[in-house]
Amino acid sequence: MKDIKIIESKVKTDKYTKYASRVFDFDFDGVSKFICHKKPNIKNDFNIGLIVGSSGSGKSTLLKEFGKECSPLWDYDKAIVSHYETPEEAVKLLSSVGLNSVPSWMKPYSVLSTGEKFRADLSRKIKDNGVIDEFTSVVNRSVAKSASLAISKMIRRENIKNVVFCSCHDDIIDWLDPDWTFNTDTGEYLPRGSLRQRPIIRIEIYGSSWKKWEMFKKHHYLSAEINNACRCFVGVFDGEEVVFNGSISLPSKIPPLYEGDTRNKFRESRTVVLPDYQGIGIGTRFSDSIGEIFLDNGYRYFSKTAHIRMGEYRQKSDLWRATSTNLKSREKSQKQSKKDLWHRMVLDTKRICYSHEYIGSRKYK
C-alpha cells in the first residue's frame, strides 16, 4: 500500500449533517477520508500522459501532482482569434486543436458551441507541463475521439512536453495515444508500448442533393453560396454526416494532360468538415476520395484553395499535381465577363491560392 496516501477533509457539523447522518444511519464526525494514489515514477521526457478512472477515484487529486490547470480568460468583446500573442500564433493554435472554422474564429467565446469552446480552451491550455482536467467530459463521444486525435497530432508535431490529461472516459485512449496511462480504479500504470493501436477512421461516402449544403454552409471560410448544378457528396462517420463536397463542371479550356486526352473537367467548389470533426485529416482524405470518384468516371478533377492546411497537404501529396496558376498572383485577371459567372465561381484575385489537379495513383504524364 506504499503507492497510496490518505487525505482527510474536515467540516463543521451542524443540524443538516446530523439530520442526514441520523436518517441514513451514517456515522459522521465531520471528517471524510479519501484514498489517493501517489504520483507514479515517470521520467519528465514524454509528450502525453493520461490519468483515467471513475468519478471519485482520485484522478483530479493525482493530476495536481503534475501541475495546476490554467483557466483562459476570454474578452467577450473580442473575437477568439484576437486572444493570442500574434495573428500567426492564433491561426496555428486554433487549427492545431481542430478548430478550423474561420467563421467561428471571428465570434466571441460566449456564442461558440460547447464543442468549439472545448477546443478554443485547449488551444490556450496546451503547453509544456500543462495539465487538463475533465478532458472530453463536456462533448459527445464521437467529438471526444476526433478531438483527442487532433490534439495528439498537434502535441507530437510541435514536440510539446509533459502534457497530462485527466478523464473518466477510457474510450479516448486509442485516439489520444498517450505515452503512458495511469488507471486510478486499478492503480495500473501502462506505458505506450502496451496500449492498442490507434483506430482507423472510416468515412462512408454517399451522393447527395445540393440541398444538404444547408447544414454545412455556415462553416465554410468563403461564401455560403453553392450552385445547384454541383455534384454533391456527404461523408458519414460513426453514423453522423460530418463532411460535404460539392463539385461543378469546369467549362474553361484546359490543355489535355496527355495526347489524346479528351476528358471533361470538374472542379471542387466546396469541401467543408463540421467543426467538431476538424483537425484529424477528414477533409483532405475526403477530397482525395472525391477526386478518385471523378477519375474513375472518366473526368479530370481540379481544386483551388486558400486554406493553408489543405494546400500544403496537396503540395506534398503524390496524388495531386500543381497547375500553372499554383501560388501565383492573379491581380491582372481582375475582369470577368458576366457570362463567366453563371457557375458562381468568381476568380479570386485578392489572395494567393493553391491550385492543383488530382491525378491519383495513375500519375498521368
Convert the pLDDT of each residue in 212-246 to its tens digit. 999 998 877 666 678 889 999 999 988 889 999 99
DSSP 293: H
| DSSP codes of every residue in 297-356 | TT-EEEEEE--HHHHHHHHH-TTEEE-TTTT---GGG----GGGGTTS-----SS--EEE
Considering only CA atoms, which of 267, 262, 338, 328 is closest in space to residue 301? 267
Distance from C-alpha of 345 to C-alpha of 328, rounded to nearest angstrom: 18
Distance from C-alpha of 62 to C-alpha of 59, rounded to nearest angstrom: 5
By the 8 A CB rule, do 126 and 151 touch?
Answer: yes
Residues of each domain in the chain carrying CATH 3.40.630.30: 204-362
Give me the tens of pLDDT residue by residue for the chain, a chain 365 residues long.
Answer: 457 777 788 999 999 999 999 889 888 898 988 777 888 888 878 999 999 998 888 888 899 999 999 889 999 999 999 999 999 999 888 988 878 788 889 999 999 988 889 889 999 999 999 999 989 887 888 778 888 888 998 899 899 999 999 999 888 898 899 999 999 988 888 887 665 566 778 899 999 999 999 999 887 766 667 888 999 999 998 888 999 999 999 876 788 878 888 889 999 999 999 877 887 889 999 999 999 999 999 999 999 998 888 899 999 999 999 999 999 875 555 444 444 443 344 445 556 789 999 999 765 54
Considering only CA atoms, which of 232, 239, 185 is closest in space to residue 54? 185
Distance from C-alpha of 139 to C-alpha of 275, rounded to nearest angstrom: 13
**pLDDT, tens only, 83-135:** 999 999 998 889 888 787 888 899 999 999 888 898 899 999 999 999 999 89
Q: How is domain 39-194 classified at the architecture level of CATH?
A: 3-Layer(aba) Sandwich (3.40)
pLDDT at 222: 63
CA atoms within 13 A on the CB side of 119: 33
**Number of Cβ atoms within 10 Å of the Cβ of 228:** 11
Give the strand pairing for 300-305 and 354-358.
antiparallel
- CA-based R_g, the chain, Å: 26
CA 313-315-320 angle, to 5 degrees, is 90
Residues paired with residue 49 on neighbouring β-strands, in sequence order: 164, 180
CA 66-163-146 angle, to 5 degrees, is 135
pLDDT at 360: 93
Residues of each domain in the chain carrying CATH 3.40.50.300: 39-194
Domain 204-362, what fold?
Aminopeptidase (3.40.630)
By the 8 A CB rule, do 268 and 301 touch?
Answer: yes
